Amino acid sequence: MEKFEEWEDALDKIDWSDVLDEVDGQLLENLANELRFRTYEALKVSSLHLGDGYHITHLANGKWAFWNEQNYVREDIRFFDTEQHFLHFALQLFRLNETKAKELVQLLQKTPQLKICVVCNHHFNPNDPARKDLGIEGIYVDEEKSEGECCSPQCAVEAVLHEMKDA
């Protein structure tokens, strides 16, 4: 009997809200991995927030990924081949009037198409202002041909080290 009470006591001491937060956080990291982002934070800052937890991301392959940070577990990511396909869907889902629809078109046009890093295979936003601030605009494995763009100085260094190993 004593054992059982100890166990109960231990359970009482767990802060369940912390545990649940961690689970949610892990699910969002999974979502980010599914879309080939290094972290959920990276996914979020590279996407357009549409309200109610909905986001749209313009992937490197040209597709648009539509996802919800609150319903991710129940609602799968939806992919759209073109901006028009997504627009058509969004008009119905959000019941947008003409003004709102035009606003959405403008927002989508401003949403940058992401690129995939040739080294780590993660998405990155080539227009990210933070990249410009850090002076890491356009890092290429082949600088002459501007081919094989990297997401970060770390990945560029890794590419060089790899080449040295191969040589």
Among positions 117, 139, 156, 159, the unique one binding Zn ion when judged by CB under 5 A: 117
Closest approach of Cβ 152 to Zn ion, in Å?
Answer: 5
Among positions 50, 60, 87, 120, the unique one binding Zn ion when judged by CB under 5 A: 120
Give start and end residues of each alpha helix (H) in 38-135: 40-45, 83-93, 98-110, 129-133
Contact 150, 141 (CB under 8 A): yes
Using rule CB under 5 A, residue 119 touches Zn ion: yes
Using rule CB under 5 A, residue 155 touches Zn ion: yes
Q: Which residues contact 94 (CB under 8 A, 6 or more apart)?
A: 50, 100
Identify which range of 11-19, 63-71, 101-109, 111-119 contacts Zn ion by CB under 5 A: 111-119
Give start and end residues of each alpha helix (H) in 46-128: 83-93, 98-110
Using rule CB under 5 A, residue 151 touches Zn ion: yes
Interface residues toward Zn ion, by CB under 5 A: 117, 119-120, 151, 155
